[in-house]
Chain A
Amino acid sequence: MEKHKHYVYALISIPGLIILAILAMNMQLEKNDLGGGRKAFLASAWQDETHGITYAPPLSSTRLFKTLRLNARLPEINTVIFGSSTAMGVRADMFPLPMKAYNFAQTGNPLLSVIGEAEYIQAHDKEIRNFIIPLDWSLDFIYMQGNPNPADLSPPRLEKRQSGPPFFARMKDALSLPRIKNLVVVLGGILKSKEKWASAESMFFEPSSRDYRCADGSVARDYDTMHRGTCTGFRYDGSATFANLERVSDAELPSLVLAATIPSSKYSMALEDSKGEPSPAILQALARIVRGAKGRVIFFLPPLVPGMERRFLSLPGYSDDLKHTKAALDAWGKRENVVIVDAGESEKYGCKAEEFVDQHHALYSCYEKIFAKFWKEGADRKGIYAPQ
């Protein structure tokens, strides 16, 4: 009987104590989250002051932070870079003076939303003269049916603190696997840190980390418990560091290209479903933006991992569709007197696999090569520009 007694005590207390510890830590982390987007306001104010690297959690929802930053930067810029995460590698220093840019690209932001944002800025912010807009074919954005979504980019206001979910629901959430995975990352960060106590204190009891320096000398501060000390986030110009993501290696490049070009991949399906025909409604709306702009409007087809677009162009099922897209955009660009930088075959600009984090997310260094070449060779072109 004694054996059973000890067994029962151990069986209840081992998971019980671990669960209690998890509950306590996760509920403290949740308390520290502040709620109502407060961290986005804190992060934006900090970036305004320091010009450093930061972001507000979660990294997958960037709209509030980016809108705060855009409004803060409006008095000093005249160029806005739009788009989704594919365009986040574009930096302000890729554009010659007098262009002063802010990268307003947000996660998962399709072209239909971009058009609404550009229209709002044209209507409300007269100092913004230049518009940099990506035309993603690979993510289906250029083919999407429907009308542009109107946007409101007025300065966001801090939401009133609302009473959260009931205690039992918060307990359940604190015990959920995603929260526990997050906690493991947090604890791992503390263990790796040189100043463990200070790190633990800031993680659990302060809304952000302390300021630290990145390899390029920039100052950074993390308002999330994820990716701490990695310089993950957005620079002062709105571009992303992608510091939390692994780079593509040469070894994995062939399988990545193959996976992208099989019939069931999202890239193939974008071509297959649309037959390469850009949405007329999107082109019309973009034409209105071009005509309404006081300065330059530059469109670009975002870079894809080296070899990917070339493979699409070699596949009988997709080659014609992709060529059709480009021919249609070329004709449209010439008609509207705008240039479309075609960076799809990124290898033509000298981009390497290691300058990507996946098939369609290029880093700063690749974009730098693309725009350097563009300003040198293609700045005066109309229609599609791509190096030979």
Chain B
Amino acid sequence: MLFNSHLFLFAFLPGTLIVFFLLGKHREMAAGWLAFSSLVFYGYWNVAYVPLLLLSICVNYAFGAAIGRGRKKLLVWGLAFNLGLLGFYKYAHFFLSNLDRLTGFDWQIGKIVLPLGISFFTFTQIAYLLDVHRAEAREYRFTHYLLFVTYFPHLIAGPILHHREMMPQFERESTYVPKFDNFSVGLTIFFVGLFKKVMLADGISGYVAPVFGAHASGIEPTFVDAWCGALAYTCQLYFDFSAYSDMAIGISRLFGITLPVNFYSPYQAVNVIEFWRRWHMTLSRFLRDYLYIPLGGNRKGKLRRYFNLMATMLLGGLWHGAGWTFVIWGGLHGIYLAINHAWHALKGKLGIPDMGIAGSFFARTATFLSVVVAWVFFRADDLGSAFSVLRGMMGFNGVTIPDFWLPKWGKFGAWLASHGAHFGTTATPVTGGEVNWIWILLALAWFAPNIYRIMGNFEPALNLPEEKPARLIWQPNWAWVVPVAALGFFSIINMNKESAFLYFQF
């Protein structure tokens, strides 16, 4: 079931919410109801994978209990179970196809459908087992554990929750009492997220596939096409993931549960280190706490630090999908981070001062462009398509301005044409509408304050970065209710497409 569907909005969400609070006096039953509803939410997509999810939860809970009682060696088996599950469902095909290529064999397995959200619920539980092993987690009630893993706002595409943040909230009595401040904050964040998904991300999505699919059709995208395609995807992914994160946090808040922030204006980052502190923040935290630091982090010398960074980002890339494009995407970010750390070290050593506004502008632009280049690999179906788009972006496939812009540009177009600009047919026609979408969305991503800054006075999410509050501060009053209601209304009447979130595939 999608957050941006009529069924969810008008039936599932209100139904679940009303029953949850009706059962509120019996906390265990209310938590059980929420867990059951979450399983229905998950099963609506494919009921066949509900048993798999339940198996994963039961096995991990049992391992956690046993490890917590001192059988520490079971951790290895617990990790093996989780990685085995993930490996089978997500990486078996990738592994075998590469093995076949290397050895010349033809080993095959049948079609495996990737269970939705498997990467998310597996990582959530790996973290739990590791923390139990470190004696940083205690044994929880099964109902709460079940709810912690299945909790529907986060189950399919994050945020990746940490038991330390969630379990106290599930145990808290006040969670089960309806509160208007939670409803007002939750609904506002939800409507903003819904608008981002339905109007912004889906609005730009139509242009992405033709550009990234051009190579497979024997067409090489030219300069304008390639840049528009790459930037359109950059915007689509941004607003799609931002939307999902907002909607998850907003929905959860309706139930009185505050989720950790997962997305915090990442395109406003002035370097790649900061980018990763703003993009998919809960995954970054997981990779840092459960991979980078156990590998040694920055404690074992500079060279080892760069190796650890690279290993972490390569595995982070592979977490997103079983394909070389994801590995290269992760590798690129590993290189970016290494360069970034090296530059910081050099800057400190040579005493180079910050360059003020101009420097900040340059840094932000360079960071953004690096991220865009990496997104090309992230989006492309294969390496051939990725390199084709990149060649186009560098002008190697020719620089042609779509000819139907010529009449629209009037005298300016005629002047350009008379001064050597080449107007002609392009493989994937870029309309003026798409170009306008791109710059409007980029302006929003670069300059607009995010909803967490705007709602900063009402603790909209956990782990928010410390930043100056936005000039625009949300208050529960008429000045805010009208625009937020308008966002909700326009989103609902545009919901007939019901497109899935991009992060569902991971």
Contacts and interface: CB of A to CB of B under 8 A. Distances in A.
Interface of A: 1, 3-8, 10-12, 14-15, 18-19, 22, 168, 171-173, 175-177, 180, 255-256, 258-259, 262-265
B457 interface: no
Interface of B is mostly: helix
A12 B188 CA distance: 10
Contact of A7 (B184, B423, B488, B494): B184
Interface stretch (B27-35, B222-230, B301-309, B472-480): B472-480
B425 interface: yes
Nearest to B487: A15
Given A10-B485, A15-B489, A264-B404, A4 B188 contact: no
Given A4-B183, A11-B187, A263-B425, A175 B493 contact: yes
Interface of B: 6-7, 179-181, 183-184, 187-188, 191, 402-404, 406-408, 410, 423-426, 429, 475-478, 480-482, 484-486, 488-489, 492-496
Contacts of A18: 489
Given A7-B477, A7-B481, A176-B493, A263 B183 contact: no
A264 B180 contact: no
B406 A7 contact: no
A172 B500 CA distance: 17
A3 B410 contact: no
B403 A262 contact: yes
Given A6-B476, A264-B426, A264-B429, A11 B188 contact: yes
23 contacts: A3-B476, A4-B183, A4-B184, A7-B184, A8-B184, A10-B481, A11-B484, A14-B485, A15-B486, A18-B489, A19-B489, A19-B493, A22-B493, A173-B496, A177-B494, A177-B496, A255-B407, A259-B404, A262-B406, A263-B403, A264-B402, A264-B429, A265-B404
Nearest to A265: B404
A15 to B, nearest CB: 4
A10 B495 CA distance: 22
Given A4-B476, A264-B429, A14 B482 contact: yes
Contacts of B188: 11
Q: Which of B407, B426, B480, B494 has the most CB of A within 10 A?
A: B407
Contacts of B476: 3-4, 6-7
B251 to A, nearest CB: 15
Contacts of A19: 489, 492-493
A215 B495 CA distance: 42
Given A11-B485, A264-B425, 9 more contacts: A14-B485, A15-B486, A172-B496, A173-B496, A175-B6, A175-B492, A177-B496, A262-B404, A262-B423
Nearest to A258: B407
A15 B477 contact: no
A265 to B, nearest CB: 7
Nearest to A175: B493
Contacts of B6: 168, 171-172, 175
A259 B403 CA distance: 8
A265 B496 CA distance: 31
B403 A15 contact: no
Contacts of B424: 263-264
B259 to A, nearest CB: 20
B485 A176 contact: no
A1 B180 CA distance: 7
Contacts of B485: 10-11, 14-15
B493 to A, nearest CB: 5
A264 B496 CA distance: 31
Contact of A14 (B7, B180, B410, B489): B489
B187 A10 contact: no
Given A3-B477, A7-B480, A258 B406 contact: yes
B388 to A, nearest CB: 21
A258 to B, nearest CB: 4
Contacts of A1: 179-181
A18 B410 CA distance: 42
B406 A4 contact: no
Contacts of B492: 15, 19, 175
Nearest to A252: B407
B29 to A, nearest CB: 25
Contacts of A14: 481-482, 485, 489
